[in-house]
């Protein structure tokens, strides 16, 4: 949630609507991912409280335990769709800002597209997505790492940010 507020404040001088969209995408994506976390815990609860029973065969019990994990995987893929659109939006804002390097904006856009490709592949063909994931991880990691390192080490061009903020107020 702090990221949503920070990025809104940072980028509202570029485009208030898209900065608000970025904040909304962070909030919705985080909510979806948080909700799917419970499906990852469900098998542990089922297995720890299971009593030896003849009501279910071992195959049925495995299927019952595996189903929440499949739902969690789908939920994470849906959350990453929101994250992909977040990366695309941040990429645009960085590119258009003038107070951060445009190269990072391009990288974030490529990273967002990579997340979207991976998410839709995961929803449509999980087997294919498993092979695709390492190739998606590379551009996304470079993009996000570049943005994080730039903000931590070089920060924003404060003079240009204030120029944009002044132009927005006028």
Residue 50 scores a pLDDT above 70:
no
- Identify the sign of the CA torsion 14, 17, 21, 24: positive
In terms of residue numbers, what domain contains 7? Answer: 2-169
Q: What is the pLDDT of residue 170?
A: 43
The CB-side HSE value for 46 (13 A sphere, CA atoms) comes to: 17
| H-helix or E-strand spanning residue 102 | helix 102-124
Q: What is the pLDDT of residue 145?
A: 96
Q: How many domains does the chain have?
A: 1
Comparing C-alpha atoms, which of 81, 102, 99 is closest to residue 91?
A: 102
Contact partners, residue 13, CB within 8 Å, separation at least 6 = 97, 161, 164, 165, 167, 168
Mean pLDDT taken over the chain: 88
pLDDT tens figures, 74-123 = 999 999 999 999 999 999 999 999 999 999 999 999 999 999 999 999 88
Cβ atoms within 10 Å of 53's Cβ, excluding its own: 7
Q: What percent of the chain has pLDDT over 90?
A: 55
* 1-5 average pLDDT score: 87
Residue 73's pLDDT band (boundaries 50, 70, 90)?
A: confident
Q: Roughly what angle, to the nearest 10 degrees, separates helices 126-149 and 102-124?
A: 160
* 36-62 average pLDDT score: 74
Q: What is the pLDDT of residue 159?
A: 86
pLDDT tens figures, 116-147 = 999 999 889 888 888 888 888 899 999 999 99
Q: What is the pLDDT of residue 109?
A: 97
Record the tokens describing residue 31, joined without a space: 């909510």
Cα dihedral 125→26→90→160 (10° resolution):
-170
Q: What is the pLDDT of residue 21?
A: 97
* 53-58 average pLDDT score: 68
Q: What is the pLDDT of residue 106?
A: 98
């Amino acid at each position: 949630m702090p990221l949503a507020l920070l990025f809104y404040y940072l980028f509202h001088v570029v485009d208030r609507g898209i900065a608000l969209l970025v904040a909304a995408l962070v909030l919705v994506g985080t909510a979806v991912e948080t909700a799917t976390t419970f499906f990852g815990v469900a098998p542990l609860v089922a297995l720890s409280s299971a009593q030896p029973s003849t009501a279910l065969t071992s195959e049925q019990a495995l299927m019952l335990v595996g189903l929440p994990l499949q739902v969690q995987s789908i939920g994470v893929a849906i959350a990453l769709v929101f994250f992909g659109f977040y990366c695309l939006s941040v990429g645009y804002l960085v590119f258009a800002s003038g107070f951060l390097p445009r190269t990072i904006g391009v990288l974030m856009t490529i990273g967002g597209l990579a997340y979207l490709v991976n998410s839709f592949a995961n929803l449509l063909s999980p087997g294919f997505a498993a092979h695709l994931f390492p190739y998606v991880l590379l551009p996304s990691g470079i993009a996000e790492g570049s943005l994080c390192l730039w903000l931590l080490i070089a920060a924003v061009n404060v003079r240009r940010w204030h120029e944009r903020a002044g132009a927005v107020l006028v």
